Amino acid sequence: QVQLVESGGGLVEPGGSLRLSCVVSGFTLSDFYMTWVRQVPGKGPEWISYISSNSKNIYYSDSVKGRFTISKDSARNSLYLQMNSLRAEDTAVYYCTRGGSRSLRHMDVWGRGTTVIVSS
Amino acid sequence: EIVMTQSPATLSVSPGERVTLSCRASQSVSDNLAWYQQKPGQASRLLIYDASTRATGIPARFSGSGTGTEFTLTISSLQSEDFAVYYCQQYNFWYTFGQGTKLEIK
C-alpha cells in the first residue's frame, strides 16, 4: 500500500530550525518526484519545494528559498525538509506528496501532514 | 504567479443532488489542472488530473471539464462521503492551488 507518513513538526521560536521527515512505503522513492506542500488551516495549500526522482532538480517557492532545504535518502525511504530561520508565517500543516516519475504535475499521493507552529 | 479562484466558497447541498464546483485561472493553464478532495485528519485525495482524467479508483460520479481558464468539477449524485473541501491546482507554470470549496450537508 502506497503511504506517506510525515513527522518532525512542533513548536519552535522565530529564527529557529526544524527538520521534517516523510517516510514512504509501497513504492521506490528514487522512481518519483517528491514535494512538500504546506497549508494554513482554512486556506488553500501552497507548494513550497520539489526534488526530482534522480535528485538533480530541486526547486523552491520564493517564500522559502534560501531558508528551506529539501533532500531524500532512498536507502531509508525518507524525504526531508530542513527549515531554518523560521518565521511566524511559516506556521502551517506540512504535507509530503508524490509527483510523477518523469516530472512534477499533479500530486497523486499525500501524507496526513505534520504541524509546525512558529511562535515565541 | 497564476492565481486560482474557486467558487463558491461554501455549498450547502443534500445527498443525491448533482453539484458543480468552479475554478478559474488568472491566465491560461491549458488542461494542466487537477482536483483534490480533503477531509479532516485524512490524506488528501487526487480526484482528477489533466482537467478531465479520473485518477485511479475514483468513482465515475466525479467528472472534470474545462480548458484554458475555466474549469468545473461535477459530482453527479452526492454521497455522504463526498462532503469535504475540494481544491483545484494548476501545474502549467509552477504549482498553485485555489482556496477551496467546502461542500456541507444542507
Cell of B62: 466525479
Looking at chain B from residue 41 to 100, which residues have their Cβ under 8 Å from any Cβ of chain A? Answer: 41-46, 49-50, 55-56, 87, 89, 91, 94-100
Neighbours of A99 (CB within 10 A): 22
pLDDT tens sequence across A69-116: 999 999 999 999 999 999 999 999 999 999 988 888 999 999 999 999
pLDDT tens sequence across A25-77: 999 999 999 999 999 999 999 999 999 999 999 999 999 999 999 999 999 99
C-alpha A100/C-alpha A1 separation (Å) is 17
Residue appearing with cell numbers 470549496: B101
Give me the phi and psi of A90, to 5 degrees please.
-85, -5
- What's the burial of B28, exposed, middle or buried (CB within 10 Å: 0-12/13-18/19+)? middle
Residue among B49, B96, B98 whose CB faces A106 most closely = B49
Give me the phi and psi of A93, to 5 degrees please.
-90, 130
Mean pLDDT of A9-17: 98
Query: CA of B45 to nearest chain A CA: how many angstroms apart?
Result: 7
pLDDT over 70, % of chain A: 100
